[in-house]
Structure 1
Amino acid sequence: MHQTSLDGLRELANSSLNLARQIMQHTREGIVVMDPRGRVIGVNPAFCRLSELDAADIEGRHITNINHDLHERRYYRQIWQRLLQQGHWQGEVQHHTRQGRLATHWLMLHLLRDGRGRVSHIIGILDDISRLKQSEEKLSYLAHHDALTGTANRSFLLSWFNKVRLSLDEGEQLALLFIDLDRFKPINDSFGHGVGDQVLKALAGRLLARVDANELVARIGGDEFVMIWRGRLSTGELLAKAEQLLEELEAPVLVGEYELSVGASIGVSLYPEHGLEIETLLRYADTAMYEAKTFSSAKVCLFDSAQFARLEQQHRLAGEFRLAIERRQLFLEYQPKLELSSRRLLSLEALLRWRHPELGVLYPDQFLPAAKDAGLLCRLADWVFGEAARQYRCWREQGGWQGRVSINLNGLELEQHRAAQLLDIFARERVSPSDFILELRSDFIMRRSESLMGALHAFRSAGMAVYLDNVGEGRLSFSKLRQLPIDGIKIDRSLLSDHFDPLDRSVIRSLLLLSQTLGIEVVACGVETAEQMQFLHQHGCSSVQGQLLAAPMTAGQLEAFYRNASDGLRH
């Protein structure tokens, strides 16, 4: 080859080398060139920046000696073996920055061979992926946690449970607590969702403070949380711990100028005692929570087999309830109310019943949960209004009962938009709302949501009276009582128990005095003895209802009772 040609090739090679060096100087990725044994020959500025070392400190040193605080030598030996076998390797490497932050890099290694196949150089390309890792971790966190409260979401709860149950030691159990906030909806309705969100965050913080690294809190609904405790707690210890949690949730939450108290009901199921699958345990804990909310004064309930039987029956009845309406299995019974001073019949209370073809006559507390599960509460309220109105029109046209009829909507839906729909039923049946009384549970009406108050005002404006039912059985705020749009209260039958002790008498006297001060009527329910009747009359109770007077009866039975008993009741 001529000398001119050789000079040209050398010039081209030098030019290419200079170009490669220029590219190395300006590329964002770190580049390191090593000899066949892994000693650093040269690095670009980006490599120095990423490794936080000067070129003079790197060149001449073996690549594994540059960062040895996070990776063991075995890790590097595995990389070297893969590199020799395949000619390349890529993966994550880490180092601590000068600020103590853990930086994650993606390193790609390639072997370069000469014309005879021997390794001449090793090229490494380094890229900082710390921000990408942080983004991935953030996305993963958001995918598995509730954005508002920072608790786990339902998806993470399911996957976490399936992992943690496999790590339990012998004798350990998982206690699943289903927590439903009792008075959260009225806060949202009265103060707005912004305040409601602050309350949720504060209560979630209290829940998170009660779990350790092996336990979990998840938000699975608007005001529903699940907490899982791990350990070897006895039933007594577990319930005591849950009651302490309730006390913490009951403590007021300060949001701006508002001091808001919520409270909760808790149902508990146990792994593996009650079930092995998370969905089963959630269903059982939810059932126990309903028991706690409805029947338990402690507001905490542990799932048991009796609840399971009720749950199974509830599912069965939910499937059959639509047919019950269509096949006219529902009916109303009527219980008279007596005025004590005149001994005359004042009104009738319409009570809902279901004549089940196999289970016999069922009462509202047995089938209303099923109606709710079937999504038929509104339709059921329509049926009750319609049937009561139809029966009243028949009595009026036939010269029968002419007094008022109370419609008990305990457990049924009642919001402002429903008032107009229910009043339209009276119009279709050609009866006047003033001939009817609406009864609602005291704890329901105490929520005082704007929608509920609007509905009550609509009924009263149309002429209906409104009574609080079950007063003395649930929570009652005397300060709020005077602000409610009501005409009367009904003292719960639990205060007229078999014992009828001094405490019951004191509570009844207080309720009678309060009602007289507010100018509202009082009906005492569950009166069964002459002693109770005398006590109530002596202390100013206006009217009574109970077995001493008459048990609930069908419309046909009532007509005979009215004809035969009216004269006797007056004397």
Structure 2
Amino acid sequence: MDQRDLLWATSAELQQACPDSLRELAITSIALTRQIMHYTREGIVVMDARGRVIGVNPAFCRLSELDAERIHGCHITSINHDLHERRYYRQIWHQLQQLGYWQGEVQHHTREGRLATHWLMLHLLKDHRGRVSHIIGILDDISRLKQSEEKLSYLAHHDVLTGTANRTFLLSWFNKIKNALGEREQLALLFIDLDRFKPINDSFGHGVGDQVLKTLAQRLLAQIGPNEMVARIGGDEFVMVWQGPISEQTLLAKAEQLLEQLEEPVEVGDYELSVGASVGVSLYPEHGLEIETLLRYADTAMYEAKTFSSAKVCLFNSGQFARLEQQHRLAGECRQALELGQLFLEYQPKLELRTNRMLSLEALLRWRHPQLGVLYPEQFLPAAKDAGLLCRLADWVFTEAARQLRTWRSQGSWQGQISINLSGLELEQHKAGQLLALIRQQGIRPASFILELRSDFIMRRSESLQGALGAFRAAGMAVFLDNVGEGRLNFSKLRQLPIDGIKIDRSLLSDHFDPVDQSIIRSLLLMCQTLGLEVVACGVETAEQMHFLREHGCGAVQGQLLAAPMMPGQVVLFHRHLASRPLVH
């Protein structure tokens, strides 16, 4: 019987043929088995029936970072006990005795302090009488696999750019955390929409926009504690969840502090960019039990804050739904209003305080709605923005105002200027040359117009906005800073702005007109005199206010009492009789 026959022969055949060859074959098989164990990448440990180590291969020593001599004779459970309790090993031993095998994860700290995760498979080996003779263990390092799984899990549940949670993780996390709340605890869900991010993205590029988002996300993450979350659910939309018993007053104050953090300029390279945000808040369980409901309510409140609230923070209430429903209705009808001629302009005079002379007229947009009556800009401009019609409205206002001014001049009834109030959004979306061309098409020079901009828009100093303002001023059009005293204003940068004057907001000329308001107005007037800027005080209603403004050098006034907004025909009559009308004292 040759060597090949010996390999496949039975034990009885080997004993009858050549007992010496059988012994040699056994020795060869053992040597081969040891070589296989030596070179395999899986760690192998052989134990006696009680679990004491009697042999290991090099891979087991490498994976466990233990020497073979050190662990020889040791019970397998005493080799690594820094992460797993004895109860864990008892469970393994119990299953091993019951089923004959066990497999699962085991961990240990490496010499470098890294947490290594291994997959261990244990099997019982029995002799011919059915008694356990040995236990064999196979160990495989799955640390990289675990890291890959964790990375994939992280990518599946987090926003890659900002490191915040994504919408999917927010939904699952919220359902778990709400069930763990204490008896008096609640969850506040804040829907945060960045107000001026798109112009930054469009003007400076997505690379700069990404840096701004990452910086603002870190500011949001710094405002949360344990069992709280920040998630990015849209391009420039975030959701923050706060936990704990918290009063409405404290919640709104905390949200306003958060807004101050977001208002702080972001430095990206040579740029200093200011974004800001609007925040809507809904509460669990007060406003709803499901997160989708709470998100919808917080989104509604955020829209309310962006549109109607000067504080930019709004807590949800049921009345907001009615306004939002009307907003959607007007957004659908706004295009029709342009096409059917339902829009019109009223004009409010601006008077020189010293002479009572009419200096200019402010064009005020109105919508004569067939069912709702006359609507004012604050009622329908948000709807026009939703419908993407702000630029078309700006075109219409400039064209109609220029046409009306041409008519007045041809009649010899009014030769002055008209001011138009725009938000920075229209200017950043528009090409300045297009609006200037519309004026010139009516045979009117741009110098016959004054452009008014809210301070919170012009203070952003974006390149596109500054470029548009530069083009208007180069064409001869004056630029005024509107709502000074109510909107955002950095006084240190005021002298750097491309403006010709300011309009003091009516909020500083309130009914009580207290010493604080008077001090602010005096400071503004003194500063503008120093900078050579014109000043118009809006909302003047009393003789006391008129006297105060005249005494401290205010040049012009505008207000309902002095001259209410009027139709074009009324403007002609008002101008004719203005010289004979005494100034209100």
TM-score normalised by the chain length of structure 1: 0.84
Give the share of equivalent positions with the same residue, in percent: 79
Distance 1:482 1:243, change over 3 A: closer
Matching residue within 439, 444, 454 for 1:441: 454
Q: Verify the 8 A CA contact 1:423 1:433 in the aligned structure 2.
A: yes
CA distance in 2, matches of 1:304, 1:102: 50
Whole-angstrom distance in 1 between the partners of 2:430 and 2:445:
20
CA contact (8 A) 1:184 1:262 kept: yes
Larger CA deviation: 464-473 vs 218-227: 218-227
Does the CA-based 8 Å contact 1:416-1:454 persist in structure 2? Answer: no
2:32 corresponds to 1:19: yes
Counterparts of 1:252 and 1:425, CA distance in 2: 36
Query: Contact (CA 8 Å) 1:416, 1:455: kept in 2 or not?
Result: no
How far apart, in 2, do the equivalents of 1:161 and 1:81 lie? 38
Q: Distance in 2 between matches of 1:187 and 1:28?
A: 54
Q: Kindly state the Cα deviation for residue 439 of structure 1 after the two structures are TM-superposed.
A: 1.1
- Post-superposition Cα deviations, 1:404-452, rounded to whole Å, max 9, x if no partner, equal 2212113742227521232233344443322222111122212222221
After superposition, residues 72-87 of structure 1 pair within 5 angstroms as 72=85, 75-76=88-89, 78-79=91-92
CA contact under 8 A between 2:199 and 2:428: conserved in structure 1? no
Match of 1:274 in 2: 287
Match of 2:9 in 1: none
Distance, in Å, in 1 between the alignment partners of 2:571 and 2:478 is 23
1:480 to 468, 493, 517: 493
Indicate if the aligned counterparts of 2:391 and 2:429 stay in contact, CA closer than 8 A.
Answer: no
Shift of 1:461: 1.1
Q: Indicate yes or no: 2:76 matched with 1:63.
A: yes
Partner of 2:469: 456
State the TM-score, normalizing by the size of structure 2.
0.82
1:553 aligns with 2:566: yes
Structure-2 separation of matches of 1:384 and 1:5: 112
In structure 2, distance between residues paired with 1:260 and 1:207:
17
Change (3 A) 1:553 1:5: farther
1:109 to 112, 122, 127: 122
Q: Does 1:49 align with 2:49?
A: no
* Cα deviation code 1:15-65 (max 9, x no counterpart): 333222112112221012345554444210111222233323434444344
Q: 1:359–1:276: structure 2 CA closer, same or farther, 3 Å change rule?
A: farther
Once the two structures are superposed, the pairs formed by residues 349-368 of structure 1 within 5 Å of their partners are 349-368=362-381
- The answer on 1:565 being equivalent to 2:577 is yes
CA RMSD in angstroms comes to 4.0
Q: Which runs of 5+ in 1 are unaligned?
A: none
Amino acid at match of 1:336: P
1:168 Cα deviation from its structure 2 partner: 1.4
CA pair 431-369 structure 1, distance change in 2 beyond 3 A? same
Residues 393 and 114 (structure 1), Cα distance of their counterparts in 2 relative to 1, 3 Å cut: farther
Give, in whole Å, the separation in 2 of the partners of 1:58 and 1:566: 107
Instruction: Determine the C-alpha separation between the residues in 1 that align with 2:570 and 2:542.
Output: 23
Q: 1:18-417 residue pairs with structure 2 within 5 A?
A: 18-35=31-48, 38-72=51-85, 75-76=88-89, 78-79=91-92, 88-98=101-111, 100-110=113-123, 121-147=134-160, 150-179=163-192, 207-220=220-233, 225-242=238-255, 266-289=279-302, 300-397=313-410, 401-410=414-423, 412-415=425-428
Greater Cα shift, 99-108 or 76-85: 76-85
* Number of equivalenced pairs: 570
Kept in 2: contact 1:189–1:449 (CA 8 A): no
SS at match of 1:383: helix
Worse overlay, 409-418 or 228-237? 409-418
Offset, 1:213: 1.7
Verify the 8 A CA contact 1:344 1:569 in the aligned structure 2: no
Query: How far apart are residue 105 of structure 1 and its match?
Result: 0.4
Unaligned runs of 5+ in 2: 1-12
Query: Offset of 1:318 from its aligned partner?
Result: 2.9
Relative distance call for 1:350 and 1:85 in structure 2 (3 A) is same
Name the residue aligned to 1:495: 508
CA–CA separation in structure 1 for the residues paired with 2:26 and 2:548: 116
SS for the counterpart of 1:551 is: coil
